Structure formats: structure tokens, C-alpha cells
Amino acid sequence: MYRLPSLKKNTRINAIAVMTSGGDSPGMNPAIRSVTRAALNQGIRVFGINRGYSGLIIGDFTELKSGDVSNIVQRGGTILKSDRCEAFKDPAVRHQAGEILKEHHIGGLIVIGGDGSLTGAHLLTHETGIPVIGLPGTIDNDIYGTEDTIGFDTALNTALEAIDKIRDTAISHERIFLVEVMGRNSGHIASQVGVACGAEMIIVPEIDFKLEALCFSLASQRAEGHGSSGIIVVAEGPKPGLTYRLANQLEAQGEKPGVCILGHIQRGGRPTGHDRVLASCLGAASVTYLLAGFTDVMIGMIDSKITATPLLDIMEKRKPLNPQLVELAQLLHK
Ligand code: ADP
Ligand code: F6P
């Protein structure tokens, strides 16, 4: 099962900092707990940075003791708060952030967040020389270098719980429902949710979609005796409003679709067991890598093994969507 790295300590780091950034995800808290306890166990002081890069650039740090991370392994959200900080895109502001870390004698930083946060992490270490390690914390599961991101499994299960309920109504009223899930530019949430809820169709940004194909598929499913109800899972895509536009197009074709936008419900809630184990393994491993002298990498998990992928790769490469999942959902309706 999960094998943790056994790297030798190779640095003189006495204090590290940890922060969460971008959209919160369930599992950030167990990751913070793991980073904190793994460092404290090796005699390293730990500072929590409040509100992501917004807190970093003003030195909003709180020293974390073991008790500060008690009873958070089961809690959604992030005790450190999270934020999106436009100012951090300015190199001068990142320089200032580096100076603040040096003033506090912080020898390394662990950033937990999505691809945007990890881009900021790469630029920070590249420009200031402060060692930085990234952890993939986002529900979107769109990060190269790890099979699952911290929070994805919980979001998947939250969406499923909601869709199972929507299906009851869809069946009772013999209607189809368009259910929009999050994921920004990626369809990773939609494709897995779609297969797991038995969706009639999955619509994702990575695969061209044709309205005629959807209408044809609904008509043939009815002709084959599958009834008039159904769930179509739609990935939100980069521009808001896609699902309502699609509903209008379907109405023009004589359908009466219901629309349900799941939204931020997918970001909250207690992390699943999978997310807690993943966050705990990656959190402890990030400290091991930092103390061994690594920087500018993201710690992930592939085939139950801990991996360290250059942050530059995370920025430049896209995690491919598995198109077979989208096809499978439709195949299982024939
Ligand atoms: P996520 O980390 O969940 O993908 P965002 O894309 O909103 O969320 O990024 C979170 C934060 O990371 C941004 O608000 C910003 O502070 C920082 N960030 C994102 N992109 C960059 C960039 N190109 N340069 C520097 N910092 C960035
Ligand atoms: O990146 C996580 C995510 O939840 C995306 O799936 C979604 O598009 C975005 O964040 C929503 O961001 P906000 O919370 O700023 O509305």
C-alpha cells in the first residue's frame, strides 16, 4: 500500500511555514495536521500562514503547536483560511514575500492548493531561493503528477449523494435533469461523477459536444424502454451559464429539462477516508522532501507511491481526461 519516502535529513532548516491557497478542498485540514506534526516530531518549528498568499505578503503568521491541529482531521475547509490574491502575480510582491519569510527565519514553505497556487509556489522559489514544496489541494483533480488531488474524492461523493436524490425526482416526474458540477476548465469531476451516478450522458470541456447527439441519445434511450427520466452531468466549463444555455436549447427541441447547479456544496464537508489518508501521506512526505533539501516540486501519489514532480511540469502539462469514462457512461445505457 502507501510507501512513505525514507530520505535523509540534509538541511539546517529550523522552522517551516504552511499555507492553503485558492479554492478550499476537503482534506486541507488533515494535510495541515500532517505537515505540522511531521515537522514538530523532528524538532522543527511550524508557522501557519493565514489566508494564503494574502497573508504571506503581510506576514500574517501564527506559530502552530501540536494542540493547534488537534481534532481537525475530520473537518472540511481549512483552519488557515484560504484566499485568491491577485497581487501575488506581481514579481515585486513576490520579492517582498521572500523577504518576509527570511525575516521570520523560515527555511521552507509548503503550499497546499490548485494549479494557480502551485504556479505562485514555483515563481516564489525560483525568484527568491526560498525552498518551496507544493501539495495538490483542489477538488478539480486537474493536476498533473498525482492520480488524485486532496479533496477530489470527497467532492465526488458529495455530488453523488446530491444526484442520487435528484434522480428520485427525475424518475417520479419522468423528466431529465441537467446537473452541473464544478471543475473549471476540466471534466475530471464530471466524468467520474457521471459514471458513478449512471448518467445518461456526460458533457465535458475536453470533448466536443453536439446537441443533436444528445437529443438522438435521449430519443433512442426512450425507444429502448429506458423511460423518460435521466441525468445529464455537465462540467461547468470556463464560462458560467453553460448549463442554462443547454437547457434552453433542449427546451427548443421539446424537452422539459430541470437544472441543478451543485456549486460550492462540492467544496465543503468532512473529508472521506481516502482524502484523509492521501492528505496525511502527502503532508508528512512534503516535510521529508523539504528537510532532505528538495525544492520546486509537488508531492503526489501515483500507483500508491509518493512522487515528486517539478512544479514547472505542473504548470506546463495538463492531466489528460480519460475519454473512456465518458464513452462508458453512454455504453452502459444501451
Ligand atoms: P487554485 O490554486 O485553486 O488553482 P487560483 O488559480 O485562483 O486557485 O490561484 C490561487 C492563487 O494563486 C491566486 O489568487 C494567486 O495568488 C496565485 N497565483 C495563481 N496564478 C498565479 C501566477 N501566474 N503567478 C503568481 N501567482 C499566481
Ligand atoms: O478550483 C476549484 C473551484 O471550485 C473550481 O471547480 C471552480 O470553478 C472555482 O473553484 C470556483 O471558484 P470560487 O470559489 O472563487 O467561485
pLDDT in tens, the chain (334 residues): 577 888 999 889 999 999 999 999 999 999 999 999 999 999 999 999 999 999 999 999 999 999 999 999 999 999 999 999 999 999 999 999 999 999 999 999 999 999 999 999 999 999 999 999 999 999 999 999 999 999 999 999 999 999 999 999 999 999 999 999 999 999 999 999 999 999 999 999 999 999 998 898 888 888 888 788 999 999 999 999 999 999 999 999 999 999 999 999 999 999 999 999 999 999 999 999 999 999 999 999 999 999 999 999 999 999 999 999 999 998 998 6
Per-residue pLDDT at 51: 98
Binding region for substrate: 138-140, 175, 182-184, 236, 264-267
Per-residue pLDDT at 65: 98
Determine the Cα–Cα distance for residues 266 and 19; give it in Å rounded to an integer: 21
Per-residue pLDDT at 1: 58
Burial class (CB in 10 A: 0-12, 13-18, 19+), 209: middle
Determine the Cα–Cα distance for residues 112 and 252; give it in Å rounded to an integer: 45
Per-residue pLDDT at 262: 98
Cα 248 to ligand 2 centre (Å): 24
Residue 200, C-alpha cell as written in the block: 445518461
Binding region: 23, 33-37, 84-85, 114-117, 138-140, 167, 175, 182-184, 198-200, 236, 264-267
Binding region for ADP: 33-37, 167, 198-200
Q: Are 59 and 29 in contact (CB under 8 A)?
A: no
Pocket test of ligand 1: the residue of 49, 88, 128 to mutate, having most ligand atoms within 8 Å of its CB, is 88
Per-residue pLDDT at 107: 98
Catalytic site positions? 140
Per-residue pLDDT at 333: 80
Per-residue pLDDT at 232: 97
Residue 56, C-alpha cell as written in the block: 504571506
Q: Tell whether ligand 1 has an atom less than 6 A from the beta carbon of residue 186.
A: no
Q: Whose CA is nearest to atom 24 of ligand 1?
A: 89
Per-residue pLDDT at 223: 85
Determine the Cα–Cα distance for residues 141 and 82; give it in Å rounded to an integer: 18
Residue 275's nearest CA partner among 249, 255, 301, 257 is 301
What angle is formed at CA 73 by the lines to CA 68 and CA 76, rounded to 5 degrees?
Answer: 100
Q: Tell whether ligand 1 has an atom less than 6 A from the beta carbon of residue 221.
A: no
| Overall pTM surpassing 0.85 (yes/no) | yes
Pocket test of ligand 2: the residue of 115, 180, 204, 267 to mutate, having most ligand atoms within 8 Å of its CB, is 267
Cα 292 to ligand 1 centre (Å): 27
Determine the Cα–Cα distance for residues 77 and 167; give it in Å rounded to an integer: 28
